Amino acid sequence: MNSSDQALPKDQVLQNVRDILVKNYGLTKDQFILLLYDSKSRLSRILTEAYSSAILQNRHMIIDFDTHSEEAILSQFKIIPPHSVVILVQTVSFRLTKHRLRADLFRAGHLVIEHTRLGYNLEDQIPHYIASLHYNTPYYVHAADTLEQLLSQNHSLRITSPEGNELIVNSAFEKPIKNTGDFHNAEIISAGFPIGEIFTEAKELEKMNGTLLVFGFPGKDHLVHFTDQFTVTIENGCLISHTGPAQFEEIVRMIRDEEVTHTVQVREIGFGLNPSLGFDHRLNEPTAFERFAGMHFSLGLKHAMYAKKLGRKVFQKYHIDLFCLVKDVFIGETQVIKEGKYVV
């Protein structure tokens, strides 16, 4: 451990991972735990140390991904007890099978905790990541359930930005997908951390019009690029113009050129709920930063959760997030964000 690790509150890291194990996953004393990790990033080392301490009271196995062959790791997965807890701590992403390892494990009946692409986050962002693991599931459940009910009962969404721009969606919404860490009665007990999000999309994608204020987006390097604020204009559900930097124009052209419709479709409407992430508490890994307390939207035709809506014949290639600054948000007549803060 280097000296800068000492500045992190080790007790907080340990408490956060213990809460994940016990409060989110309902860990019992007789459950077996397998921790698969690498040491290629500082954040992966921090989390590995914390999990290694947190699982000592259980039967467990700890495997260094970089010192074991793929065959040896896969063979261990085959012999661990049913309903084991498997923890994946990855600087990038462990590639062992043609499918995502996390999915292979929960299909086998195991409980999976995944931390992925940790090395994408900068050194000064590590405290933000650790804070985002704080147990907050009761709030996430309450907020997500409230938003879900409002989305199911209303056919309109209105979003204003701090600069006075407005986006309006006049459509019913698809059944929202929630990521709260509440696994009661869940068939699949698996999550990528950090958590705290609910997302949907318009049933009629073309019923989205207006302007959003953007402060970040993933680039071709799969890192979030935080920029000066810029606007994107949406007509009939597609991005038609923007005031962003050249890197963003490159993303827009890539989508427009390579999607079969030659348009830049806006699909996901995401409500991040995690109060430890935000405009001033950033992460460069885009999947984790989706959880920030605010809103994000996706560009491109691809959306795994709602893929069937466009039909199998439509090849859906891109899903690229926009991280937005919002001021006031109304679902129907109910205000859910006021002056940039949730009021649910």
Q: Is the pLDDT of residue 32 over 70?
A: yes
Q: Is 185 in the same domain as 293?
A: yes
pLDDT higher than 50, residue 201:
yes
Same domain, 152 and 111: no
SS3 content of the chain, % helix, strand, coil (to 5): 30, 30, 40
Q: Within this chain, do residues 115 and 145 fall inside the same structural domain, yes or no?
A: no
Indicate if the pLDDT at residue 98 is higher than 90: no
35-67 tens-digit pLDDT: 999 999 999 999 999 999 999 999 999 999 999
- Report pLDDT digits (tens) over 131-176: 999 999 999 999 999 999 999 999 999 999 999 999 999 999 999 9
Q: Which of 120, 152, 179 is the last residue of a domain?
A: 120
Taking a C-beta distance cutoff of 8 angstroms, is the pair 112, 21 a contact?
no
Residues 76 and 185 in one domain: no
Q: Which of these three, 62, 93, 120, is where a domain ends?
A: 120
| Claim to verify: residue 211 and residue 280 sit in the same structural domain | yes
86: CATH: 3.40.50
Evaluate whether residue 266 is within a structural domain. Answer: yes
Q: How far apart are the first and last CA of the chain?
A: 41
Answer yes or no: is 221 within a domain. yes
Contact 11, 33 (CB under 8 A): no
Q: Is the pLDDT of residue 20 over 90?
A: yes
Chain segment 275-284, per-residue pLDDT in tens: 999 999 999 9
Contact by Cβ (8 Å): 271, 293? no
129 inside domain: no
Q: Is position 317 within any domain?
A: yes
Do 181 and 98 share a structural domain? no
Same domain, 146 and 241: yes
Kindly state whether residue 338 falls inside one of the protein's structural domains. yes
Q: Which tens digit of pLDDT belongs to each residue from 284-301?
A: 999 999 999 999 999 999
Let me know the angle formed at the C-alpha of 266 by 261 and 270, rounded to the nearest 5 degrees.
Answer: 150
pLDDT at 112: 97
The two tokens of residue 299 are 């560009």
* pLDDT category of residue 182 using cuts at 50, 70 and 90: very high
In this structure, the answer to whether residues 102 and 143 fall within a common structural domain is no
Tell me, yes or no, whether 210 and 85 share the same domain: no
Q: Specify whether 109 is located in the same domain as 142.
A: no
What pLDDT does 6 receive?
A: 47
Residue 304 has pLDDT above 90, yes or no: no
Number of domains in the chain: 2
Task: Note whether residue 131 is domain-resident.
Answer: no
Across the chain, what does the average pLDDT equal?
Answer: 94
Q: Which of 61, 94, 120 is the last residue of a domain?
A: 120
pLDDT digits (tens, 9 = 90+) for 206-215: 999 999 999 9
Pair 161, 306 in one domain? yes
Per the structure, the complete domain to which residue 91 belongs is given by 3-120
Examine the domain organization and report whether 315 and 194 are in the same domain: yes
pLDDT tier for residue 97 given thresholds of 50, 70 and 90: low
